[in-house]
Structure 1
Amino acid sequence: MVAGSAAAAVNADVLSFGGSCGDDAVRLDVVAAPDVTPALRAAADDAREKEITSDGHCIDVRVTARDSYKVADELRAGKGDPEYDVWVPDSDLWVRRVGLGTKQTKVSPAGNIASSPIGVAMLPSAARSLGWPKKTYDWPRLTAAAMEGDDVRLGAADPARSATGLLALAKLGASAKKQDGKEGETRTAALAKALSKRTTDTDGRLLETLARDGSGAGPGGSRHNQALILSEQAAYAHNASAGRKSGLDLFYPKDGSPRLDYPYTLVADDKMSTDTSRAALRFMTMFSDEAGRKILTEHGFRTDPGPPSTELVATAGGRSPQPYADDASEPPSDRQIQQTLGMWTITVQNARLSTVVDASESMRQLVPGRAQSRMEVTESSLTQALAGFTDEDEIGLWEFATRLDGARDYRELQPTERLGEREGGVTHRDRLLKAFSELRPAPGGATGLYDTTLAAYKKARSTYASGKFNALVILTDGANQDPGSISRDSLLAQLEELSDRERPVPVIAIAVGPDADKDEVQQIAEATGGSGHQVDDPAQIHAVILKAIMEAGGNRP
C-alpha cells in the first residue's frame, strides 16, 4: 500500500519534502511542451530530494504537459489569470505569437534551457536507399527525395500547431527560394501540398504514423510513414525506447538545421509575488548547473553551445559525416514565419470566405486618376481576387448600406458555397461573378457598418466549416453612419464573446479610400483575431485580401 501511494505521488508530481522544509515551501506551477516535461519533472524531483531553496524557502515545482500552441493562444487572448507561473514551450515562435495579441497576458522570456536541431528521421531501409550516412542533402533536395514516388513516405506535424513542422517548412522555403527564386517558391508549395496528406495534428501523434518494419507496413497492412520531420530529441526518445530494430536514422541537412530552443518564460510576472518570482528564477538556474544539464542530456537535449556528445547523437540516429555538429541555421524572421504559415494555409487548406461589400452612396465617388467609381473598381478587384481561388473554396457575398432590406442594413446576395457547385448548369463561381457585376451603390444609403458586421459574423460562426480556413471579409469606405445601430463598444464586446480560438473566424476588414476609418476597422477585426487594412485605391483590394489571408493563416492556432 505504501509503495502504491508513493507511485501515485510520483505520477501526480506531488512528492513530499523532508521535515526541514515543512509547510514553508514556495509553490511553483509550470506548464511545458510535452517533450521537455519529463526532464522538468525529473529536475523538480531533484529539487525536492535535495531540498533546494530560494531565499530560505524550499521550492515545490509542479509540472504539467500542454501543447505549446494551445498555451500560446490562451495567453494571446489574455482572458483570465493563468493558473501557472512559468511556461516552457519548445520554441520562441510561440512566445512571439503571444505578442501578436492586443490584450495578451504578459510573458517574459528569461533564457533558454536547452536546444534540439531538426532533421529528417527515417527507418534504416529508407535511409540507406538515400545513401545515409555518407550522402548529405540540403532541405529542398532531402524532402523532394523523400517524397518522390511511394518508396519513402515522409510525414510531419501540422506547421500551424508544431514548431518542428513550421521551422522545417520555413527553412525549406528559404533554401528553395535562395536557390531558384520564384520557381523554388512554387516547388515548396507543391511539396507542402504533398506533405499535408501525411500530416498529423500534433507532434505527439506523429510517431504513431511510423511503419513498424522496413516494409513500410503499419497495423493492418496500412501504408505508414517511413520518414518523419523530427527534432533530434524526439528521435533520441524514440530510439532509446524502441531499440535498434525499430530505431531511426537521422539526416541533418547541410544547409543548416533549425533548432527548438525551449525558452524559460515567466507568465504575468508583474503580478507575481516576490517569493514566486525568485523561486521561478531559482528553478531556472538549476539547468545551468551540472546536475540540471545532466538531466536534460539524459532526456536527449543539447545544453552547451559546443559540439554535442557522440552518445546523444548516436542514440538519436546520427552518424558521421552527417553535419550534426554544425551551427544552427539562422532563426526565421517574423515575416518569414508569417509567409510560411500563409503559404501553408492557402496551399493546404481550402478557404471559406463570406465577403461583405459597402454599397453606401459614397461608393459612387470617382477614384482619383481613374474614370471609375469606387464601386466599379471594387467590383473589378473582387473579380480579380476570385480568380485566385479553386473550385473547392467557398465564397459568399453580402452588401450593406442602411435599410437595404426593410429595417435591415444588409442582405445576402450569394450564399457561401463551393465555387465549383453547379445549379441549373451554372457554377457558383459564375453566379458570384454576375453578382459582383451587379453591385450598385444604394441611392441615399449611409454606412450601416455595426449591425451588418455583427449579423455577418454570427452567420459565419454558425456555418463554420471544419478543416477549412474560415474568415469574414468586410470592405467599407466609411465609418458607421447608422444612428439606430448598436454601439461600437457593444459590437466589440459581442465579437470578442462570439470568437472561439478552437474554431476561428477572423475578420479581415479593409478600409477603402481616404474617408474610411482604419482605426475603427482595425478594432473590429482584432476583436476576432483578424486584421484591419487601408487602401487608397480599391484596385489594391485583391492583393490585400490575399495578404490578409496569409497574415491570418500565420496567426492561427
Structure 2
Amino acid sequence: MNGHDDDVPDWIPHARPGAGALQAGHRRTAASVPRAPGSTGPGRHIAPPPARRRGGLLWGPLAGAAGLTVLAGLGVFALAGGAGCGGEDALTLNVAAAPEIAPAVTRAAGRFNDAGHEFGGRCARARVTGSDPAAVSTLLSGRGVAGVTERPDVWVPDSSLWTVLAQARAAAPEPGAGQGTGPGPGTITRGRSMAASPIVVAMPATIARRLGAPGGAQPSWRELLTAAGATEEGAAPGTGPSTGPGAGPSRVPPGLVRLKVPDPNRTATGMGSLVLANLLLNASGDGNADFTGVVRTLRESVTPSVRAEFASFRPDRQGRHPVALAPEQAVYEYNARKPAEPAVAVYPSEGTLAMDYQVTRIGAAGAAAAADADPRARAARELERELTGEETRADVLGLGFRAPDARAPAAFGARTGVDPRPPRALPAPPAADVQRIMQSWARLSLSIRMLSVIDVSGSMEEEVAPGVDRLQSTVRTAQSGLSLLPDDTELGQWVFSTGLRGDQDWRELVSVGPLGERLGSATRRQLILSAFARIRAKRNGDTGLYDTIMAAFEHMKRTYKPEFVNSVLLWTDGRDDDPGGPGLRATLDRLRAAYDPDRPIQVIMFGYGRDVDVDELRQIARATRGDVLVAQTPGEVQKLFLQAVSRRVCAPSC
C-alpha cells in the first residue's frame, strides 16, 4: 500500500496487537468481508466506490484490489467456522495460501464455512493462513522448518514449482539437508489452479516506450539478458553473435539496464527465472556456459523479494535503469500505488512461465484412495471446488491476477501497465529439471576461490596474431576474465617456468584473497591488474609444469574454505620439460593421494597452442575431477574461460 491513511476505506479492519486469526465472537463471515468490484453472490455484493483518477490511473477499478491487499497486509487470513461449527468435534481444514492471493482464499473459505458442510457427521470449517510458499515447501520436503511448523491440509502456493521441489527433495534429499526434521509431504495431490500471473520484465515506462513496448515488437529474453551483462555477449562485447533464441541485432543498448531478480531460494519468481534461463539458453551452443553467465549476473542482482525489486525503481549512478523480473500481478499492484515512475510489463517474444496458484491437497486430505471414504479428503475436495469456482474467480481478477485460462481483468491496459492479451506460454519443466536447476544455482551462487597460474616459459613469446604473442594473448584473456568476477571472489596470481626463485619453478605475484580487499593503497583487483601489466616471458625458460601443479594444489588445500568453490586455473602452452622435476607418474600418484572429495580442489588447465600434450593434461585433470580446455586462437579463449567457470554446475562429480 502507499502508506496514506486517507486512502484506506473505513470498512478495513484494524490490526490488534497480537491478533492473528479472527477468533470466534470477533469474526467476519463472507457476507461482511468486502468483495471485489463486479463480483456476484446473493447478499454479498458491495458496490464499488465511484471511479476517480489519481496520477493518470483510473482508480475505481483498482479499489477492490486495494481493499483485498489491505487485508493481506494486516494478516487477516483466518476465518472461524460457520455458525454452530466449533469445538473439538469440528473438522478443521488448515489452509496455507501465498500472501498475495490469501484474501481471495479467505473469501472462498468464508463461503465454504457459511454453507454448513458436514462430512462423516462432523461440520467442516476452513482456517486460512497467509504463508510463505518457500517455508511450506521446506516443511513438506522434510528438510526442517523455516517459519511454518504445521503441515496444511490444503496449500495454495504461488507456483507449482514449490510443490515439485518439495516432492523431489523429499524423494532424494541432498546430503546434510536435514532429512526427517519435518513432517514430510505425505500424499500430495495437485488440483486445479485458482489464478495465473506470468513472469514479465517490469521496467520504467520511459524506458519501455524507448524500446517500443508496449504495443510494438517485444524485446527477447536474450536481448535483455545480454544488455544486462548476463550472457557471453553482454559480458564481453565483440565475442561474436548469439546463435540462441532472439539472435540478431539487439534493440536494447548495452549499459541501458540493470537486472533485478528476487531470490530464487525464497521466491517462485526467482526460481522461475532460472528455469526460463535454462530453457531458453540451452538452445545455444553451450547451455552450461550460458547458464553460468546468467547466474553470475543474477547473483549480483538478487533482491530479497518481489516487493524489494520496486523499492528503488530508478536509475543508478551509472545511469542504468532497473528491469525487474516479476509476476504481472506485482506490476499491476505497484502501479496501483501511483508511483512517480510507473512500471510497464514487457512480455519477451520467446514466451514465459506463469505463477499458477494451484490448489494442492496434502496428507490425508490428498489421499486418492481415501477420497470418497475419508471425511477430511472429501472436505478438501469440496473446498477446492469453492476455491476454483466462479465467485472466487471474480475475487482473483479483482486482485490483478489472470484467470487460469489467461483471461485478464477488465482493468488491464495501458493505464495500469499490463497488457490484457495473453503472452505466449512456455511448457512447465519436468520435476527432475527443477531439482537440477536449483542444485546448479546453489553451486554456482557460491563464491569462487581461485589461484590463477600463468606459464611464462620462453615458448610463450611465440607470435599468435600480428603483433601479439602467446603470453600477451593469455594475459588479455585473464584480464577479461577478471572483469567477470565480483569483489567477493577470492583470487591470487602466480607465474611459472623454471628457476624463477632459485630452484623453485613458480613465483607468487599476488596472494589469494578477496578482490575487493584493500592491500595498502590499492585493492587486490588493482594489484592483479598491475601484475598482469608487468608479466614477461623468461627467455630460454623451460616449463616446470608438474612441480607447479603440485605446489598450487597443496597451497589451495592448506588454505581451503568450504564456503567457496576452490580451484586452480593453470595456463600453459606446452608440456613439462623440467629435467630436475618429478615425472608424470609421480605427479599423478601425489595428486590422487592428496585429493579429498569432501574438500575438493579442481585443477582446470588451459592449453594454448599446437605443442600442448592434451592426453597428459587430461590425466592430471582427471585426478582432481578437473578439466582441460585447449584453444588454438586468441578468439577462442574468452568462451573457454566462461566454460571453465561453468564447471561449478557439476562439481565435484564432473
* TM-score (normalised: structure 1): 0.58
- AA matched with 1:60: R
CA distance in 1, matches of 2:13, 2:271: 42
Deviations 1:68-96 (A, max 9, x none): 22322232235598443233222222222
User: Aligned pair in 2 of structure 1 residues 188, 393: CA closer, same or farther (>3 Å)?
Assistant: same
Contact 2:261 2:324 (C-alpha < 8 Å) held by counterparts = yes
- AA matched with 2:163: V
1:260 to 355, 366, 369: 355
User: Aligned pair in 2 of structure 1 residues 277, 135: CA closer, same or farther (>3 Å)?
Assistant: same
CA distance in 2, matches of 1:331, 1:255: 14
Match of 1:21 in 2: 85
CA distance in 2, matches of 1:422, 1:243: 44
- What SS does structure 2 have at the residue aligned with 1:154? strand
Say which is worse superposed, 254-263 or 342-351, in terms of deviation. Answer: 342-351
Deviations 1:441-485 (A, max 9, x none): xxxxxxxxxxxxxxx9xx99xx875xx6799xxx999xxxxxxxx
Match of 2:343 in 1: 248
- What SS does structure 1 have at the residue aligned with 2:155? strand
2:329 to 221, 233, 243: 233
Match of 2:223 in 1: 141
Match of 1:493 in 2: none
User: Aligned pair in 2 of structure 1 residues 4, 121: CA closer, same or farther (>3 Å)?
Assistant: closer
CA distance in 1, matches of 2:555, 2:228: 50
User: Aligned pair in 2 of structure 1 residues 314, 41: CA closer, same or farther (>3 Å)?
Assistant: farther
Contact 1:112 1:261 (C-alpha < 8 Å) held by counterparts = no
- Note the C-alpha offset of 1:199: 1.6
- Note the C-alpha offset of 1:335: 5.3
Contact 1:90 1:262 (C-alpha < 8 Å) held by counterparts = yes
- AA matched with 2:411: E
Match of 1:46 in 2: 111
1:171 to 270, 273, 276: 276
Match of 2:417 in 1: 317
User: Aligned pair in 2 of structure 1 residues 313, 91: CA closer, same or farther (>3 Å)?
Assistant: farther
1:160 aligns with 2:225: no
- What SS does structure 2 have at the residue aligned with 1:100? helix
- AA matched with 1:227: V
Contact 1:35 1:234 (C-alpha < 8 Å) held by counterparts = no
* TM-score (normalised: structure 2): 0.51
User: Aligned pair in 2 of structure 1 residues 303, 509: CA closer, same or farther (>3 Å)?
Assistant: farther
Question: Mind listing any 5+ residue stretches in structure 2 that lack a counterpart?
Answer: 1-10, 28-74, 174-178, 230-252, 451-480, 492-511, 529-546, 568-590, 602-620, 628-643
Match of 1:349 in 2: 446
Contact 1:339 1:551 (C-alpha < 8 Å) held by counterparts = no
CA distance in 1, matches of 2:566, 2:159: 27
- Note the C-alpha offset of 1:254: 1.7
- Note the C-alpha offset of 1:435: 7.0
- Note the C-alpha offset of 1:393: 5.6
- Note the C-alpha offset of 1:32: 2.6
User: How many residues are treated as equivalent by the alignment?
Assistant: 409
Match of 1:95 in 2: 163
Contact 1:146 1:153 (C-alpha < 8 Å) held by counterparts = yes
User: Aligned pair in 2 of structure 1 residues 97, 85: CA closer, same or farther (>3 Å)?
Assistant: same
- Note the C-alpha offset of 1:235: 1.7
Match of 2:212 in 1: 131
- AA matched with 1:122: M
CA distance in 1, matches of 2:137, 2:290: 31
- Note the C-alpha offset of 1:153: 3.1
CA distance in 1, matches of 2:555, 2:78: 68
Match of 1:384 in 2: none
- Note the C-alpha offset of 1:318: 2.5
Match of 1:447 in 2: none
- What SS does structure 1 have at the residue aligned with 2:311? helix
1:541 to 625, 637, 642: 625
CA distance in 2, matches of 1:136, 1:166: 23
Match of 2:391 in 1: 291
Match of 2:285 in 1: 181
CA distance in 2, matches of 1:187, 1:194: 11
- AA matched with 2:210: S
- AA matched with 1:100: R
Contact 2:165 2:431 (C-alpha < 8 Å) held by counterparts = no
CA distance in 2, matches of 1:196, 1:263: 29
Deviations 1:54-78 (A, max 9, x none): 5665443232333322322232235
1:196 aligns with 2:299: yes
Superposed CA RMSD: 5.1
Deviations 1:325-378 (A, max 9, x none): 24410123345445544554455430579xxxxxxxxxxxxxxxxxxxxxxxxx
CA distance in 2, matches of 1:236, 1:297: 11
Question: Mind listing any 5+ residue stretches in structure 1 that lack a counterpart?
Answer: 354-386, 396-416, 440-455, 478-505, 511-536
Bigger radius of gyration: 2
- What SS does structure 1 have at the residue aligned with 2:382? helix
CA distance in 1, matches of 2:415, 2:106: 22
- AA matched with 1:34: P
CA distance in 1, matches of 2:414, 2:188: 35
- What SS does structure 1 have at the residue aligned with 2:140? helix
CA distance in 1, matches of 2:651, 2:129: 29
